[in-house]
């Protein structure tokens, strides 16, 4: 086969692009299959940044490192051949395959790997011309009627304000009631929506199994999203890199199967999973109000949502108890 790569990555999101760049820098021949027609095409989700521009930049860095991209090319299947795989579309071979194709991974489905089963659903709009939003704060709104199981938010973004909410999959997320409430806080007189987006967020934790011989899942495909905060971009970067490093070690004969290493590194989110189940019950608003007025609960929330290591940080726990005294 003319185009035989060491590593084929399905999905050019955060996890896939970081993985591709690192693997190429380690000397692997790498290809990325992306079903969208170009990097950062519409439908990408957000952080408080210009996500499309970040994805385009990551793509450029990966290309500069020698990665080959196949856009407009959705993964359907891979045939096992000679200790690797052949992907008839687009007609390439791979010694190793990574599924970085998001929450509803086709790679996981094709290889019978674990699937995400527990979800939040998020909706968001980007506003231009919205006045009165403090540009230095992430505004979070707890309301079990509007956002059961999660929160609403207003985030000052790049030239826009992002307003959204997420809730349990069984409920239908709707922005208008949140906008109605926020009209009392912000000035929507000259505001206009320039972009809308919505999508599922897996919050069931690490899927099992997340690998098979020659195949590994990473990012949302592996369920690497905090069940509590629903943040998946940091784990996508972190484990996209680790997936590349472990696959490179494996293929050059200096390391074991990547899954044998990553099973000790991929987070299991046990505590956060329990807290997610509690939030999923949709506690009443009076309970949120009471909890947030108690200093220990405020300190605990600060630890979970804003500390770099969250519940695993010894320093943050010491800080929490110091504040209680």
Ligand X SMILES: Cc1cc2nc3c(=O)[nH]c(=O)nc-3n(C[C@H](O)[C@H](O)[C@H](O)COP(=O)(O)OP(=O)(O)OC[C@H]3O[C@@H](n4cnc5c(N)ncnc54)[C@H](O)[C@@H]3O)c2cc1C
Only one of the segments 45-53, 204-212, 270-278, 315-323 lies at the binding site for ligand X (rule: CB under 6 A); that segment is 45-53
What ranges in 252-313 are assigned the alpha helix state H? 258-262, 270-280, 285-292, 295-306
Only one of the segments 8-16, 84-92, 139-147, 292-300 lies at the binding site for ligand X (rule: CB under 6 A); that segment is 8-16
Q: How far is CA 95 from CA 98, 161, 251, in A?
A: 10, 44, 8
Which residues are CB-neighbours of 59 under 8 A, at least 6 positions away?
12, 17, 39, 40, 69
By CB under 6 A, tell whether 10 contacts ligand X: yes
Task: Identify the sign of the CA torsion 39, 42, 43, 46.
Answer: positive
Q: Nearest distance from residue 296's CB to ligand X, in Å?
A: 26
- Rounded Cα distance, 203 and 149, in Å: 11
* Matching residue, tokens 């999101």: 13
By CB under 6 A, tell whether 86 contacts ligand X: no
Q: Nearest distance from residue 303's CB to ligand X, in Å?
A: 18
By CB under 6 A, tell whether 149 contacts ligand X: no
Give phi and psi for 296, each to the nearest 5: -65, -35
Q: Using CB under 6 A, pick the residue from 20, 23, 97, 124 that binds ligand X.
A: 124
By CB under 6 A, tell whether 100 contacts ligand X: yes
By CB under 6 A, tell whether 161 contacts ligand X: no
* Residue 77 · residue 88 · CB < 8 Å: yes
Residues 292 to 321 in contact with ligand X, rule: CB under 6 A: none
Based on CB atoms, which residue is closest to ligand X, 148 or 232?
232
By CB under 6 A, tell whether 33 contacts ligand X: yes
- Rounded Cα distance, 204 and 199, in Å: 16
- Rounded Cα distance, 151 and 211, in Å: 33
Based on CB atoms, which residue is closest to ligand X, 90 or 177?
90
Q: Nearest distance from residue 302's CB to ligand X, in Å?
A: 17
Q: Using CB under 6 A, pick the residue from 25, 35, 238, 302 that binds ligand X.
A: 35
| Contact string (CB under 6 A) for ligand X, positions 237-256, x = contact | --------------------
Q: Using CB under 6 A, pick the residue from 125, 154, 160, 236 that binds ligand X.
A: 236
How many residues line the site for ligand X (CB under 6 A)?
A: 33
By CB under 6 A, tell whether 269 contacts ligand X: no
Using CA atoms in the order 277, 117, 305, 191, what is the torsion angle rounded to 10 degrees? -110
By CB under 6 A, tell whether 47 contacts ligand X: yes
- Rounded Cα distance, 101 and 323, in Å: 43
Neighbours of 202 (CB within 10 A): 25
Residues at the site binding ligand X, with contacts judged by CB under 6 A: 10-16, 33-36, 45-47, 74-75, 100-102, 106, 122, 124, 197, 199, 201, 219-220, 225, 231-234, 236
């Amino acid at each position: 086969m003319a185009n035989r790569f060491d590593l084929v990555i399905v999905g050019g999101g955060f996890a896939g692009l970081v993985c591709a760049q690192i693997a190429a820098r380690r000397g692997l021949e790498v290809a990325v299959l992306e079903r969208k027609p170009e990097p950062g095409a519409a439908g990408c989700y957000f952080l408080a940044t210009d996500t499309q521009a970040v994805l385009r930049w990551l793509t450029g860095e990966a290309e500069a490192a020698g990665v080959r991209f196949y856009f407009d090319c959705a993964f359907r299947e891979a045939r096992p051949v000679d200790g690797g795989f052949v992907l008839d579309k687009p007609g390439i071979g791979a010694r190793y395959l990574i599924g970085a194709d998001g929450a509803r991974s086709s790679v996981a489905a094709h290889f019978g790997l674990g699937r995400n089963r527990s979800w939040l659903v998020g909706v968001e709009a980007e506003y231009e011309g919205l006045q009165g939003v403090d540009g230095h704060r992430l505004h979070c709104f707890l309301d079990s009627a509007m956002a059961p199981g999660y929160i609403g938010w207003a985030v000052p973004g790049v030239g826009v304000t992002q307003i959204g909410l997420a809730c349990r999959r069984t409920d239908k997320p709707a922005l208008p009631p949140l906008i109605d409430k926020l009209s009392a806080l912000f000035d929507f007189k000259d505001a206009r929506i320039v972009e809308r987006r919505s999508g599922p967020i897996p919050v069931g934790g690490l899927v099992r199994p997340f690998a098979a011989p020659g195949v590994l899942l990473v990012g949302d495909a592996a369920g690497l999203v905090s069940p509590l905060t629903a943040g998946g971009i940091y784990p996508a970067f972190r484990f996209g890199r680790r997936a590349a490093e472990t696959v490179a070690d494996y293929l050059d004969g200096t390391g074991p199967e990547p899954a044998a290493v990553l099973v000790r590194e991929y987070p299991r989110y046990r505590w956060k999973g329990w807290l997610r189940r509690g939030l999923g019950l949709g506690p009443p608003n009076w309970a949120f109000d009471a909890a947030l007025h108690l200093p220990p609960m405020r300190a605990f929330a600060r630890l979970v949502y804003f500390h770099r290591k969250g519940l695993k940080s010894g320093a943050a726990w010491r800080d929490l108890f110091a504040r209680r005294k």
